[in-house]
Chains A and B, each alone.
Chain A
Amino acid sequence: MTARDLIPIAVLTILAALLPLVVTSSPVLNFLVFMLIVALGAQGWNILGGFGGQFSFGHAAFFGTGAYVTAILQLRYGVNAWAGLVLATGAGAVVGWSIGYLSFRSGLRGSYFALVTLAFAEVFRILANAASFTGGAAGLLIKLDVSPANLQFADRAVFYWLVLALVAAVLLLTRWIQRSRFGAQLVAVRENEDAAKALGVDSLAVKLRAIALSGAVTALSGCLYAQYFLYIDANIAYGSWISVELLLAPIIGGVGTVFGPVVGALTLHGLGEVAKQFAGRIPGIDLIVFGGVLVLAVAFARGGILGLLERLRDRGRGMVARGTKEVSHAGR
């Protein structure tokens, strides 16, 4: 990785870190934290779906695992919240690898893979809803005990900075993937699996690494969710709402790009909030906005917002290039 790869990430992170110094209203900070948690989970989706081309409809399976693992470890076993964070992330990797092993080993691709992930998430949701171990339908409450040692902060801004730091870390991870042999092989598998194999790429191993990483990152976001709101139940942690959000954000922002998931999460939730301000009495107005944005993205911006910007830039450059050509013609 070169300085050019790192500077945009550093600049954006620093700018975002300054935000709580300007904005101090709790609803806004709440919104920002929630948006960043979604962005982080979406970054996880993007590693597998964007770079690997394996679209998952069930990333709730990882999000929920992260949330439940940390909550159960703290409540039932008295594990420290920070340790819970690490273990929850690890659990996401294990669940990811396992789902990957079962589906990729049997050659599932495309819509079949998407459906299998959806099925896993639903099974987890139903199990978590039924078992007393997971708190059943009543869900789990993490004990309020504000202390940095417990990963609970009196000031919302601190949590915001923590999530932001993790989002930045995953931006770096994603940039590294993009610049590495692993990333090149992952993209090759996405573009044409047989051609990749002929060039010596172990496509199963590459996909398993991708889904394990993806599961870990999304589980981390689920864990942060539980830790911030201190309450989860099966329909929150394993609900299809989060699967949809984690998939929509990268598609809207730019699938298989480093910043796409963050841009997408910001756009979706930004628009959702605006819609709620103006038409808060209509229930589900934010979902209607999500649907509308998705339709627009699919119809007019196949590469998401970042893809659209790139095309506009190229067109701008083309116009400049043509312009100079005309000038040089006129000069002759």
Chain B
Amino acid sequence: MLAVDGVSKRFGGLMAVDSASLALEPGGIVGLIGPNGAGKTTLFSMISGFVPPSDGRIRFEGTDITAEEPHRRAQRGIGRTFQIVQPFAGLTVCENIAVGAYLRHAKRADATARAREVARRVGLGAELDRPAGGLTVAGRKRLELARALATEPKLLLLDEVLAGLNPSEIRDIIPVIRGIRDEGVTILMIEHVMQAVMNLCERVYVLAQGRMIAEGPPAAVCADPRVIEAYLGHGAAARLAAEGAAHG
């Protein structure tokens, strides 16, 4: 469904993303993990059209979309959330979500009905008429998810929607994400909460310093020495193995 092929992004002297590739089949939840500054958000921005790649190709459902504008990609069915939440602060929660719903429903009544439905689903049913600017962090994260969901995407890119939530809020939202997947939406999620990654993702990609260094089922990837080194520094994998042997 999505094929990212050798995509790079250079910001001045910095290679934020360096020839990264990934491929998604329809259905399922795939994770994208990696240390801070690895280039995950930049990769999302290239897939959704906000940042033009310096190199490489992106295909969606067989069509080359590398040069397409963000709104065209949303129309094709690529929805995204922003890591740094971007609410329409002056509008109510319902109006925020309705902007997403208008993509597939031209009539106000239909778009509003759809917005209410989505709001209830992500747990914002009680906040519909509140100004979005007044929501808590958790509320704003839910709003990001709700708006993207209201566009009825085929592919949903979630950028750290669990960051800043407490454990009970995370427990609430995990079934929601699983429910979206069960409806047939393909999900690619950037996540730092490893418990959620283990819980939700069938497969994960690991990005470190702009390069895709590993890919596979979450448990296997987390045991991969290259991944451990990427997170904990050079030599960490060997040190951990040695410690493990000493304790054994």
Residue ranges of A at the interface with B (Cβ–Cβ < 8 Å): 179-181, 184-185, 187-188, 191-192, 194-203
Contact = CB atoms under 8 A, between A and B. Distances in A.
Given A199-B74, A199-B151, A191 B91 contact: yes
A188 B71 contact: no
A81 to B, nearest CB: 38
Given A198-B148, A200-B103, A201-B99, A191 B89 contact: yes
Interface stretch (B80-88, B212-220, B229-237): B80-88
A181 B48 contact: no
A49 to B, nearest CB: 15
B31 interface: no
B26 interface: no
B86 A195 contact: yes
Give the interface SS of chain A, mostly helix, strand, loop or mixed. Answer: helix
Given A199-B147, A200-B151, A187 B91 contact: yes
Nearest to A183: B108
A195 B74 contact: no
A144 to B, nearest CB: 48
Ranked nearest first, the 8 interchain pairs of A and B with the lowest CB-CB distance are: A200-B74, A191-B88, A195-B86, A200-B103, A197-B70, A188-B99, A199-B100, A181-B102
21 contacts: A180-B108, A181-B102, A184-B98, A185-B99, A187-B88, A191-B89, A191-B90, A195-B87, A196-B88, A196-B99, A197-B49, A197-B69, A198-B79, A198-B80, A199-B74, A199-B103, A199-B148, A200-B74, A201-B99, A202-B69, A203-B71
A181 B151 contact: no
Nearest to B90: A191
A179 B108 contact: yes
A88 B124 CA distance: 48
A181 B111 contact: yes
A201 B79 CA distance: 12
Contacts of B49: 197
Given A180-B108, A197-B69, A197-B70, A188 B75 contact: no
A188 B132 CA distance: 12
Contacts of B89: 191-192
A195 B71 contact: no
B160 interface: no
Contacts of A188: 88, 91, 99
Contacts of B74: 197-200
B185 to A, nearest CB: 16
A198 B107 CA distance: 20
Contacts of B80: 198
A184 B102 contact: yes
Nearest to B104: A200
Interface string B90-117: 1100010011101100111001000000
Contacts of B150: 199
Contacts of A203: 71
B98 to A, nearest CB: 6
A203 B106 CA distance: 16
B87 A192 contact: yes
Contacts of A196: 88, 99
Contact of B70 (A184, A191, A198): A198
Interface in B173-218: none
Most buried by A among B74, B89, B111, B148: B74
A198 B48 contact: yes
Most buried by A among B74, B88, B90: B88
B92 to A, nearest CB: 11
Contacts of A187: 88, 90-91, 95
A179 to B, nearest CB: 6
A164 B113 CA distance: 36
Interface in B123-182: 147-148, 150-151
A201 B100 CA distance: 9
Contacts of B99: 184-185, 188, 196, 199, 201
Contact of A185 (B50, B69, B79, B102): B102
B82 A198 contact: yes
A202 B69 CA distance: 9
A197 B50 contact: yes
